[in-house]
């Protein structure tokens, strides 16, 4: 008898959970999440060119897009909100990160426009370390 009741409860709980109203945007990425996905795709496109794939035009388009997103960092991650939403983002990091990403992405764009894969690869590594890393690296590294 206990097993039958347990099975009934286990079967009923998921059904009852599906009756609850869901948030209208549940499961959809936020604008911040979309921006990070787009920026990652841009980095991958540039890296693809560095390693002999894609075209310089594709890499330039990606670098230009990365610069555009970089200029929106303060808008996308307002300091007053970001310190609440992202527990590892203190005011110090938020005060320098957007400018670091802008500088790094603009330098990457300039390197891409030279067409020199070695220079682009070097600048891409710096962009990831100093630009992206301004937010995504621990302060201890």
Which tens digits make up the pLDDT trace of 56-89? 999 999 999 999 999 999 999 888 888 887 877 8
What is the token pair recorded at 16? 């009852």
**Between these two residues, 95 and 110, which has the higher pLDDT value?**
110
What is the token pair recorded at 66? 């990365």
User: 5: alpha, beta or left, given left = phi > 0 and alpha = psi -120 to 50?
Assistant: alpha
If you ran DSSP here, which 8-state letter would residue 127 be given? I
* Structural Rg of the chain based on CA atoms: 22
Residue found by looking up tokens 């604008």 in the block: 31
Beta carbons of 47 and 108 less than 8 angstroms apart: no
Give residue 14's pLDDT band: very low, low, confident or very high (50, 70, 90). low
Report the distance separating Cα 112 and Cα 57, nearest Å: 9
pTM of the model: 0.77
User: 91: alpha, beta or left, given left = phi > 0 and alpha = psi -120 to 50?
Assistant: alpha
């Amino acid at each position: 008898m206990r097993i039958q009741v347990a099975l009934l409860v286990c079967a009923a709980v998921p059904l009852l959970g599906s009756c609850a109203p869901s948030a209208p945007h549940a499961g959809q990425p936020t604008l911040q999440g979309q921006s990070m996905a787009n920026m990652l795709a841009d980095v991958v496109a540039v890296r693809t060119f560095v390693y002999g794939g894609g075209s310089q035009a594709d890499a330039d388009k990606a670098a230009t897009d990365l610069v555009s997103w970089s200029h929106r960092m303060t808008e996308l991650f307002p300091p007053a909100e970001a310190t609440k939403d992202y527990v590892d983002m203190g005011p110090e990091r938020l005060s320098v990160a957007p400018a670091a990403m802008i500088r790094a992405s603009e330098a990457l764009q300039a390197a891409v426009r030279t067409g020199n894969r070695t220079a682009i690869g070097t600048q891409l590594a710096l962009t990831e370390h100093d630009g992206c890393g301004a937010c995504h690296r621990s302060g201890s590294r």
